[in-house]
Amino acid sequence: MSTPPLPYQDTELNINKIEEEAFRLICVIKPHWATKKLTYKKLTDDVSNSLLGMFPTSTDNSDKDIKHGLVCKVYGNNSDLIIDREKEIRVMVELAQHQFANQILLKFKNGFFYGYVPGKPIDCKLVRDERISLLIARRLAEFHSVTSKLEFLQDNHIKFSQLSERLRHYFNLLNGTNPEIHKRLPVASTEGLLNTPTTPSSFFSAVKQFFGYSPPLTLDKIEDVMNYKLTNIDNEIKQIDIILKNKWSYIQMVNCHHGTQCQNFLYDEKLQQINIIDFEHCMFNYWLCDITNHFIEFAGLSNPDWSLYPNRTFQKRWLKTYLQYAEFLPEYIRLKSGGINKLKPTDIELECLCDLIGKLIAPCHLYWALWAFVEGLLNQSSTTFDYSAYGKMRFQQYLAHKETFLTSLVVEEPKEVITKF
What are the tens digits of pLDDT across the range 58-72? 654 454 555 679 999
Same domain for 109 and 153? Answer: no
Same domain for 235 and 105? Answer: no
- Select from 361, 385, 388 the least CA-distant residue to 372: 388
Q: Which helix (H) or strand (E) holds 279?
A: none
Same domain for 196 and 341? Answer: yes
Same domain for 296 and 359? Answer: yes
Same domain for 22 and 139? Answer: no
Q: How confident is the model at residue 381 (pLDDT cuts 50, 70, 90)?
A: low
**Among the three residues 54, 87, 118, which one is the final residue of a domain in this structure?**
118
- For 79, which DSSP code? G
- Select from 77, 89, 102, 79 the least CA-distant residue to 3: 89
Same domain for 308 and 410? Answer: yes
pLDDT digits (tens, 9 = 90+) for 82-120: 999 999 999 999 999 999 999 999 999 999 999 999 999
Question: Which residue segment(s) compose the domain that 55 sits in?
Answer: 1-118
Give the mean model confidence (pLDDT) for residues 350-370.
96
pTM of the model: 0.89
Number of domains in the chain: 2
Is the pLDDT assigned to residue 419 strictly greater than 60? no
Distance, CA of 183 to CA of 388 (rounded, Å): 21
Distance, CA of 183 to CA of 13 (rounded, Å): 22
CATH number at residue 77: 3.30.200.20
Q: What angle do CA 69, 70, 75 make, to 5 degrees?
A: 155
Give the mean model confidence (pLDDT) for residues 28-52.
83
Same domain for 140 and 99? Answer: no
Residue type for 404, please?
T
CATH number at residue 377: 3.90.1200.10
CA dihedral 131, 133, 134, 135 (to 10 degrees): 90
3-state secondary structure of 4: coil
Same domain for 109 and 142? Answer: no
**Among the three residues 78, 98, 118, which one is the final residue of a domain in this structure?**
118
- For 266, which DSSP code? E
Distance, CA of 237 to CA of 227 (rounded, Å): 17
Q: Which helix (H) or strand (E) holds 94?
A: helix 85-97
Query: According to the model, what pLDDT value does residue 66 have?
Result: 58
